[in-house]
Every structure is written in C-alpha cells, then in structure tokens.
Amino acid sequence: MPVVSKRGEEMPQSPIRRLVPFAEAAKKKGTHVYHLNIGQPDIKTPEVAMEAIRNVHMKTVEYSHSAGIESYRRKLADSYAKHDIHVDYTDLMITTGGSEAVMFAFLSCMNIGDEVIIPEPFYANYSAFAYSTGVTVVPIPSTIETDFALPSIEEFEKRITSKTKGILICNPNNPTGYLYSSEEMEQLRQLVKKYDLFLLSDEVYREFCYDGKEHISAMHLKDIEQNVIMIDSVSKRYSECGVRIGSLVTKNKGVIDIAMRYAQARLSPPGIGQIAAEASLDTPQSYFDEVYEEYIARRNCLVEGLNNIPGVYSPMPKGAFYTVAKLPVDDTDKFCEWILRDFEYEGQTVMMAPGTGFYCTKGMGSNEVRIAYVLKVEDLKKALVTLEKALEAYPGRVFDKSLVSESKI
C-alpha cells in the first residue's frame, strides 16, 4: 500500500476535532449538548439573500470570472466606502470564503520558510493555512491578564528577523473578541512602515463592535497602503457561512496580480454563493440592528454569567461573538473532554473549545476555553448553570484565589 504524505500526517488539526466523538456519544446517550464551541451563528440569513437564490434563472451555471462576478465586485467595493474604506473594484477579488483569501495572501506575500507574526491566541486554522503553504508562524503572546491587548511593539520587534514578511491580525478578534484601539492600530502602522512588512488584516467580524467602540480597519492606516491586505468574508456578517464567499482587498497591484494566478488555477469562486453575497449587500439596516441587539444581550448574559461562577474570569469582549475565559481547572483539554464524556446536569452538557488550540506556544491556554455566544440567551443561561455545576463536580478543579477577587470587582 502506498504511504500518505508526511506533511499530511503532520498537518495541524482542528482543536475541537478530538472532542467530536465525545459530543456524539453524549448525544447518543440522550444528553443535550450546548454547542458553544463553534462560530456557526443561529441567526437568520437575510431574506434578500435567500430571495436571490430562489430567483436564480440562468440557463447554464457557468464559471464566473476568476476574480469574481464583476457586478458583485463593483458593488462590494462601493459598500466599503460606508466604512471609510475607499477601493476600486480592481483592488479586490472574490474568494472561496475568507479561508481562501488567507491562503492567497500567504502564497502571494511569502515564500516557503518565510515568517508571519501573529498575536496569540489566534484562529486555529491560520496554523493550518501557514503549514499548507510552508509559512512559519511566529506567535506573540497576548494574555488574559491584560484582557488580550496588543503586545508591546518591543515584543514585536524582538521577533522580527530577515525572514519576517508580515504580521497577521484578526480584528475584532477570534477567539478573544478583542477590538484593537486606534492607538494600537497606529502602533502597528508604524511597525509595518518601519520594517516594510505586509499587514494581513482579517476583518470578517467588522460589523460586530460593541459599546459604541469604532472599528479601525487596517485599510484606514495612512502611508502603508501598499502593505495592507484585508481579508473579508460574508459568512458572519450575513450569517451565511455555507455560501463560502470571501474577499481579498489590497491597493497593492503586485499582490492582486499574483493572487489572480492562484485564483485562475481554481477557475472561479462559487457561483450561486456570489449571487447570494451580492444580494446581501442590500440587507436593510434593521437586520443589523436586530442582530446587534441580540449579540449584546447574549454577550452580557454570557460574560456576566461566567464572571459570577466562582473561579471563572472572562474579559468583556468588545467585538465578534467569542470570549476566552479562564477556568479553575487543571487542564481545559481534559475538562472539555470530561464534561462531554462523564458529566451531565439535568440531561444537559456543554461543548467548548479548549484554549491550547488557539496558541502556538506550548503550555499557553491550558486553563482557558473559547466560548462562542452563538446561541439564544435562554440556552446560554442553561449552559452557564451546567458549566457551574460541572466545575463544582470536576475532579481536576484548581481554585485560584486571585481570579476570584479579579472577577468579582
């Protein structure tokens, strides 16, 4: 039998994947599992998108342009103006999800062995995309002690080598929900300019900014227009993850030209998905207002609830729909398995993503979990009770007094 590739065997895997069989077994036993582990919102896809799908009346579903349907690209470029991002439709290309945009950005900016600095914790699949493209991730820790603020510029500079080609940020952040301030963005701007690096900015959660905080896009930063590549996606914005439509946006024509070569090889992004995404641009403001209210309610319920559990601490996230919480346990990988395998409270249990999957640095995140607030408030409340009961019952409980005072202020 021929052997599979070594690179395939060493490919980083989803941190949640290992837990899936335990969740499936729990469900088979009749236990209800609250899925707080994934970024799949239960929010309705806008009606304009669904209508556009139901109105598809073409004779032949042909390949689109490799960079995406021109009318969609034009309308998307126009729509960014609302966010004070001013681009021409030739400054962007439509991709198969934000995932492909990250892949194209790595391939276009970095050679095999080149380095990209990413503040951790970070979206686990960045590791997979970097690994697939032979790019080395250089993590720079941000910590729950500072509520995941941007690490200092000195820390970035310590990590810059001759192989450093770029910095990748996710803003608002998955998994932490952190939203970079204008001061932090200015620091990044100066750093990128000083070392002439690419700044890859994943802004797929742009619309999810809370408490009156403003989103500062990397595309707003002056004097580094040729350095910035924005990664975008319709998945979360319109709760249409399944259409698999994203975009890569940059004023750097060299990057667009190279990305197009990769785009042409795979022919075109999904056709019907593009139609849905284009129509989604006409989603009424009332939809976003409702979604916003819903997420605020969920966030407040979750984060207040977490901080009311003895020994648990979660910062109050200012964006996206995740938070990273510190739990009073020996090891969240063990705890997340245990709660699915050995625990239930009133026929219910909770699935969370262990923190270690979001860190590159060994040992970090082992008492943290990522929780997505993608469920209704009433479900979140039940999940919180279940979590509290589980923490009381868990044999590996570790009680950290410092956390209690911190979280109860």
Q: What is the per-residue binding string for a second copy in 314-353, x denoting contact by CB under 8 A?
A: ----------------------------------------
User: Binding of a second copy at residue 45 (CB under 8 A)?
Assistant: yes
25 in contact with a second copy (CB under 8 A): no
Amino acid at 252: N
80 to 109, contacts with a second copy by CB under 8 A? 96-97, 99-100, 107-109
User: Which residues, in sequence order, are bridge partners of residue 143?
Assistant: none
Alpha-carbon Rg of the chain, whole angstroms? 21
Q: Which of 201, 217, 247, 268 binds a second copy (CB under 8 A)?
A: 268
- Region of 37-45, 86-94, 206-214, 283-291 interacting with a second copy (CB under 8 A): 37-45
Other CB atoms within a 10 A radius of the CB of residue 283 amount to 17
Q: Is 252 in the site for a second copy (CB under 8 A)?
A: yes
The H-assigned helical ranges of 18-96 are 20-28, 47-54, 70-80
3-state helix, strand, coil in the chain (%, to 5): 45, 15, 40
Q: Is the peptide bond before 172 cis (omega within 30 degrees of 0)?
A: yes
Nearer to a second copy, 275 or 309 (CB): 275
Q: Find the part of the chain contacting a second copy (CB under 8 A) among 70-78, 79-87, 129-137, 325-333.
A: 129-137
CB 203 within 8 Å of CB 231: yes
Q: Tokens 């969240």 — which residue?
A: 332
Over the window 135 to 174, marking each residue x when it contacts a second copy by CB under 8 A and - when it does not, the resulting string is: ------------------------------xx--------
3 state SS of 153: helix
* Number of residues counted as binding a second copy (CB under 8 A): 82
Answer for which of 22, 72, 122, 129 binds a second copy (CB under 8 A) is 129
Q: Is the dihedral of CA 198, 204, 207, 210 positive or negative?
A: negative
Q: Which is nearer to a second copy, 193 or 381 (CB)?
A: 193
Binders of a second copy in range 50-69 (CB under 8 A): 50, 53-64
Calpha distance 329→395 (Å, rounded): 9
